[in-house]
Amino acid sequence: MKIALGADHAGFSLKEILAETLRQQGYGVEDKGTYGRDSCDYTDYASAVAEAVASGEVERGVLVCGTGIGMSIAANRVPGVRAALVQSEYQARKCREHNDSNILVLGARVTTTEMAELYLSLWLTTPFAEGRHRVRIEKLDKRKS
Ligand code: RB5
């Protein structure tokens, strides 16, 4: 599976750690930046990852900023993206089972590295439950954004 990663300056360190974890686990990693700690705009990296997911260049995306909120808002502007800000194990599972989340969003200033690794692992291994949840996400794609 190919996964695009993106972060702003606040999420840079956690993004580097998660990218290494994914590489070690055999995932293909497309690092869309940022590539350093200089202040930058989360919107640019959210767009790069969201567009890579929406176009099919990659199957999934992971975005990290300080709170996770800016990345969530920006990524969900792109049609076809279902970006989920995860702050609990329950949300990590349910955003896959119920929402078929294709982008995981993490807040580096509100989530420890250990919990971020756990959320990522749950998010990658939990399948979409289909059924009534498929009907609901199809309605998302029918509405005008
Ligand atoms: C950067 O200071 C911070 O605003 C950003 O990482 C993010 O939390 C925005 O939503």
Residue 40 is a catalytic residue: no
Number of domains in the chain: 1
Per-residue pLDDT at 68? 98
- The tokens of 137 are what? 């996400």
CA-based torsion, 114, 118, 123, 124: positive or negative: positive
- The number of beta carbons lying within 10 Å of the beta carbon of residue 120 is 21
**Domain housing 96:** 2-144
d(CA 60, CA 20): 16
Single out the residue of 85, 86, 89, 67 nearest to residue 75, CA to CA.
85
8 lines ligand 1 (CB under 6 A): yes
CATH of the domain at 113: 3.40.1400.10
Per-residue pLDDT at 133? 97
| pLDDT single digits (tens) 69-106 | 999 999 999 999 999 999 999 999 999 999 999 999 99
Per-residue pLDDT at 120? 99
- What global pTM score does this model have? 0.97
Strand order in the sheet with 2-7: 28-31, 2-7, 60-65, 103-107, 83-85
Tens-digit pLDDT profile for the chain (145 aa)? 999 999 999 999 999 999 999 999 999 999 999 999 999 999 999 999 999 999 999 999 999 999 999 999 999 999 999 999 999 999 999 999 999 999 999 999 999 999 999 999 999 999 999 999 999 999 998 865 4
Neighbour-count burial for 74-84, b at 16+ CB within 10 Å, e otherwise: bbbebeebbbb
Name the residue of 71, 72, 76, 106 to mutate for ligand 1: max ligand atoms within 8 A of Cβ. Answer: 71
